[in-house]
Amino acid sequence: MPPSRLLKHKGRPRHAPDAQWRRGIGDVALGNSLSADIAPIANALILGLSIASIWLIAALGLAIIYGAIGVINMAHGEFIMLGAYTSYALQSFFGLPFLLCIPAAFIVVAFIGLLLERGLIRYLYKRPLDTLLATWGVSLVLTQLVRLTFGSDPKYIAVPEMFQSNVQLGFVNLSVLRIFVFALTIVLVAATAFLFYRTRFGMQVRAVMQNKEMAASFGINADRVYMLTFALGAGLAGVAGSLLGVLAIVLPTMGTAYVVQAFLVVVVGGGTILGSVVASGLTGEFQSVLAYVTNETFARFLLYLLIVVLLRFRPAGLFAPAKARR
């Protein structure tokens, strides 16, 4: 049969299925190629969200203490460390499940923060430099106490079995533990925002922030507000320590590594809850993507450089009130 004539089969050329098969193979190859190109970037973005959630948890309590009271708490990292050791001790010595260790860490560290505020911080509210030095001294004392009690060797918080698996979403592989940390971060931010903007206590805190003397003239006990706010910020740091301890190792000096990022998030965000959320998201994604393109060390260098440049032009942060910006 002449090659110009094609055998017909149900109105279609006989070679049509073969051509369709080739086109199908080409589409699959193109799809796999796109997936291979997009997967690393998608994983970097997901990792950026994970980093942002960790930094936000570490910064949330600091944002409350700094934003509401104006105290630069240099012992915030040690509050994070105390939360991690509280969870470790309760899990190792008393067999308490990890999910119950989280609220327990909040209560224990909040109580320690309350004692610190009543015994030391409340006498230094009008002396910011003395407050800075005093909380730094407290951080050294807490580190040495924990080192004497638990030793300097690393401790580990056991990961619950329910958090040991991964979830595959398309070409992105997600750890269930990190999903839990991200979800709990959202819950903590929402609960904190509700407390400060939808409750009587939050109204009192905002009144004291604006004018302590005027708030006192309306019957608001400013000392009590400061005490509870400081305890709340310390308790949130304890929750952060509990979560960070299960993601990494527990050490007496672990708080130092997280408090730097926490300060950066709070300063860039202007000391507000919304600002801390946005700042943690931007910095986390920026570092993750840059680390994918270059490396971890260079990414941190560029991140810190950009933050310095930002603070040069916006010294009060991104979301500070206009009157507070200079």
The single-letter DSSP state of residue 188 is H
Residue 191 phi/psi, 5-degree rounding, is -65, -40
Strand, coil or helix: 13: strand
Among candidate residues 163, 147, 130, the one with its CA nearest the CA of residue 85? 147
Domain range list for the chain: 56-259
Q: Of 138-142, 168-172, 239-243, give the lowest mean pLDDT range.
A: 168-172
Concatenated DSSP letters for 84-152? HHHHHHHHHHH---HHHHHHHHHHHHHHHHHHHHHHTGGGSTT-HHHHHHHHHHHHHHHHHHHHHHH-S
Gap between the Cα atoms of 33 and 318, Å rounded = 40
Whether the predicted model's global pTM rises above the 0.85 cut: no
Sort 318 into a burial class: Cβ within 10 Å, 0-12 / 13-18 / 19+. middle
Greater confidence (292 vs 85) lies with: 85
Sort 220 into a burial class: Cβ within 10 Å, 0-12 / 13-18 / 19+. middle
Interval 274-302: pLDDT, tens: 888 888 888 888 888 888 787 878 888 88
Gap between the Cα atoms of 191 and 187, Å rounded = 6
Task: Give the pLDDT of residue 28.
Answer: 46
Tokens encoding 92: 């190792």
Interval 236-252: pLDDT, tens: 999 999 998 998 899 99
27-50: burial string, b at 16+ Cβ within 10 Å, e else:
eeeeeeeeeeeeeeeebbbbbbbb
Tokens encoding 254: 């672990």
